[in-house]
Chains A and B, each alone.
Chain A
Amino acid sequence: SQTIHQWPATLVQPVGSPLSLECTVEGTSNPNLYWYRQAAGRGLQLLFYSVGIGQISSEVPQNLSASRPQDRQFILSSKKLLLSDSGFYLCAYHRQQMNTEAFFGQGTRLTVV
């Protein structure tokens, strides 16, 4: 079975600082990987997804970017964080067979101060 590793678990960063969150997947090859942000009372917002190395699709315009340097690695970045970037970030692998099911990492709680 697949395992999703995401780190760090918590992060406090000053406004204007850069960001790099990393996600790696074990137990599957060529995974479809997703970054979500979860805000209280608003569910999971899809930020980016990737179906392969170097392939990134962005769902919403924002201060963030994503990269897929290796098959099982997905990175969420920012050059300059804003206060509004605070939130709970989740990396997920979507298993797509007859239907789609999501498997999540443990999440990163980002607080921008």
Chain B
Amino acid sequence: TQLLEQSPQFLSIQEGENLTVYCNSSSVFSSLQWYRQEPGEGPVLLVTVVTGGEVKKLKRLTFQFGDARKDSSLHITAAQPGDTGLYLCAGEQTDSWGKLQFGAGTQVVVTP
């Protein structure tokens, strides 16, 4: 059982559409990160959120940390084929400093 549950597992959309992926848990995290991974490569850090309710924007990507610091969402506006990849969330718990719990990921495919 994953500590962090990501949904959906797979998402296929057309270029220009919007999408949202979710990362949920029953546990509280002191921080949460989002990574994007392309085939055959390691994940690349996109953003870290640390405060309940925090919203961060990275160009067309909007990240939100839940008020209770148990969940997060990633919203992509006007998706482009370059947004294709596996999106992973990872959380750090206060009693496990230095260790990260990873979700299983959401595979996003954006077709032209």
A residues at B contact (CB < 8 Å)? 4, 6, 9, 32, 36, 41-44, 46, 49, 90, 92, 94, 96, 98-107, 109
**A102 to B45, alpha carbons, bound, how many Å?**
7
**A106 to B39, alpha carbons, bound, how many Å?**
10
Q: Judging by beta carbons under 8 Å apart, are B40 and A109 in contact?
A: yes
Partner of A101, one of B45, B88, B102, B105: B45
Q: Judging by beta carbons under 8 Å apart, are A96 and B100 in contact?
A: no
Name which of B14-22, B56-64, B76-84, B90-98 contacts chain A.
B90-98
Contacts of B35 in A (CB 8 A): 102
Q: Judging by beta carbons under 8 Å apart, are A94 and B104 in contact?
A: no
Which 7 residue pairs spanning A and B have beta carbons closest together? Answer: A104-B42, A99-B31, A44-B102, A43-B104, A43-B102, A100-B92, A107-B42
Contacts of A46 in B (CB 8 A): 99-100
Give min CB distance, A34 to chain B, whole Å: 8
**A105 to B43, alpha carbons, bound, how many Å?**
8
Q: Judging by beta carbons under 8 Å apart, are B43 and A101 in contact?
A: no
Q: Judging by beta carbons under 8 Å apart, are B43 and A102 in contact?
A: yes
Give min CB distance, A35 to chain B, whole Å: 12
Contacts of A105 in B (CB 8 A): 42
Knowing that A41-B105, A46-B99, A94-B98 touch, tell me 17 more A-B residue pairs with CB under 8 angstroms: A4-B42, A32-B98, A41-B9, A42-B104, A44-B43, A90-B43, A94-B100, A99-B30, A99-B31, A99-B50, A100-B92, A100-B99, A102-B33, A102-B90, A106-B40, A107-B41, A109-B40
Give min CB distance, B7 to chain A, whole Å: 13
Q: Judging by beta carbons under 8 Å apart, are A100 and B98 in contact?
A: yes
